[in-house]
């Protein structure tokens, strides 16, 4: 007897269609059936980690619902491959090359913020010809995958990059102000101009953060100073 015939026979024996159907065809659990709101204790733990790491190392709370929090990403082979271009964008303009992604968090905004911790190193040939002392370093980069204005636009924006352990970050007001200005930019020249303004705001002293990274000029969102 096939399933349809079995269902029909069970209904004839008594019981509503839904009652019988749930027995013959067991209901699959809904994707969010086991989700719950984050407890106060869990939120306090999250806030403590957020304060200590600026969002780069917060714990995950499986099945918890909380709007606007940063959550860890599972570093699958696909995720690592996906995050690599964002890491490379963050470190470009220096002699460092991304070696491996250590961990990553994401945050839903107008787009997605990626909090990426990765190792980068200076190639052996470059290190041998320079005064490089520490050829491998761990960096933390906050990169926005924004929403393109039109097809073909690159909406990736490096909010800041720093060596791990460097806790200085830009003020929220500075980020909001510069993001609004960036939205008004329509061409590459305007974007370059806004990048310079971003650097001044993040430095907090009215001067752009510019430095030399093993002989390569760096003009990057580095709130705590140039990468060395």
- Tell me: do 31 and 94 sit in the same domain: no
- Tell me: do 191 and 126 sit in the same domain: yes
Q: What is the mean pLDDT of each run of 10 residues along the chain (228 residues)?
A: 47 54 49 77 94 93 88 90 93 88 93 94 68 79 92 89 72 50 50 47 34 34 40
Please identify which residue in the block is written with the tokens 């490096």: 158
Q: In terms of residue numbers, what domain contains 38?
A: 21-70
Where is 115: in which H helix or E strand?
strand 111-121
CATH number of the structural domain spanning residue 193? 3.10.450
Contacts of residue 120, defined as CB under 8 A and 6 or more positions apart, other chains included, come to 87, 91, 96, 97, 98, 99, 136, 137, 138, 139
Two tokens, residue 186: 């329509």
Compute the Cα dihedral for 77, 137, 160, 140 and give only its sign: positive
Residue 1 lies in a domain: no
Residue 153 lies in a domain: yes
- Tell me: do 110 and 179 sit in the same domain: yes
- Tell me: do 29 and 140 sit in the same domain: no
- pLDDT of 155 reads 86
- Tell me: do 106 and 182 sit in the same domain: yes
- pLDDT of 64 reads 85
- pLDDT of 57 reads 94
Query: Domain ends where: 42, 70, 98?
Result: 70
- pLDDT of 132 reads 61
Domain count, the chain: 2
- Tell me: do 137 and 195 sit in the same domain: yes
Task: State pTM to two decimals.
Answer: 0.60
Output b/e per residue, 112-123; b: 16+ Cβ within 10 A.
ebbbbbbbbbbe
- Judging by beta carbons within 10 Å of its beta carbon (0-12, 13-18, 19+), is residue 220 exposed, middle or buried? buried
Say if CB 84 and CB 99 are below 8 A apart.
no
- Tell me: do 105 and 152 sit in the same domain: yes
Three-state DSSP state, 22 = helix
């Amino acid at each position: 007897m096939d399933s349809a015939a079995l269902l029909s026979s069970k209904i004839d024996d008594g019981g509503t269609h839904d009652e019988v159907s749930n027995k013959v065809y067991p209901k699959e659990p809904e994707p969010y059936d086991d989700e719950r709101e984050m407890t106060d204790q869990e939120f306090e733990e999250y806030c403590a980690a957020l304060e200590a790491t600026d969002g780069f190392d917060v714990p995950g709370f499986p099945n918890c619902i909380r709007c606007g929090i940063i959550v860890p990403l599972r570093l699958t082979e696909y995720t690592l491959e996906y995050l690599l271009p964002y890491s490379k964008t963050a470190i470009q303009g220096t002699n460092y090359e991304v070696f491996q992604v250590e961990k990553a968090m994401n945050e839903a905004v107008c787009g997605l913020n990626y909090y990426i911790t990765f190792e980068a190193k200076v190639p052996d040939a470059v290190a041998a010809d320079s005064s490089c002392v520490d050829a491998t370093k761990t960096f933390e980069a906050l990169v926005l995958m924004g929403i393109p204005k039109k097809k073909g636009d690159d909406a990736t924006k490096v909010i800041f990059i720093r060596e791990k352990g460097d806790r200085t970050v830009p003020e929220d007001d500075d980020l909001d102000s510069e993001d609004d200005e960036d939205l008004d930019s329509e061409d590459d020249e305007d974007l370059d101009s806004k990048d310079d303004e971003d650097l001044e705001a993040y430095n907090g002293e009215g001067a752009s953060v510019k430095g030399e990274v093993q002989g390569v000029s760096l003009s990057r969102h580095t709130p705590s100073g140039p990468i060395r």
